[in-house]
Structure 1
């Protein structure tokens, strides 16, 4: 579900339209081979760019979610600090039940902030490194295939 996939048929040379030469022979002419290779290369580059764009969009969303979770953790930590200050004031001014309850609330807020911080760290970790890894691997595989085909 997290992976962006390009159909195999769209990545194969047959998808660009293999044809024999118009002169009736089984072997295509050099001009047609060059034309076909140019067409296939431009299609391949377009597909790789689309894959890179989709992958970067997905990673951007993960960074956004992780940043939002970190923001929520920071807000709850700030509220927890306010409650802790309120607990200190209550401890000096009132009897045990008021400040004890304020400490319990502060502890709960800090615990929730910790959970949100861990969730945010996990989301940001899943989005790094900020590079289109699948597209890069696809290009490497395509280059290797082209090198292999040209050696024949």
Structure 2
């Protein structure tokens, strides 16, 4: 014998108290599911970052080796017009001058950043405090 539709829907309907009682469980399951999804997503992203970073590091090493080869080629090329030892000294001197220029520019930039405090912001906050004190007097 089949159950009439009205009795079936009444059996499936739950009281308001039963629904309210299920809310903490449902919220906990939802939060746990979101945390699990976050973990999976972040692990995937960190793996991609790690692999990408490693590949970039390998590329940098290869470029450094390439620069060594180019410097050797410069020395060998100059050795056709001057003795090899003089060609090596000339290339080394040019590299020393380039390094000195970069070091000087870097030193000046570092000096511009000293002291490492947000002095302009501190002065602005002090002015704001003084303004507020003046308004309260």
TM-score range, shorter chain: 0.3 to 0.5
Q: What is the TM-score of this pair, normalised by structure 2?
A: 0.48
Q: What is the TM-score of this pair, normalised by structure 1?
A: 0.43
- Point out the structure with the larger helix share: 2
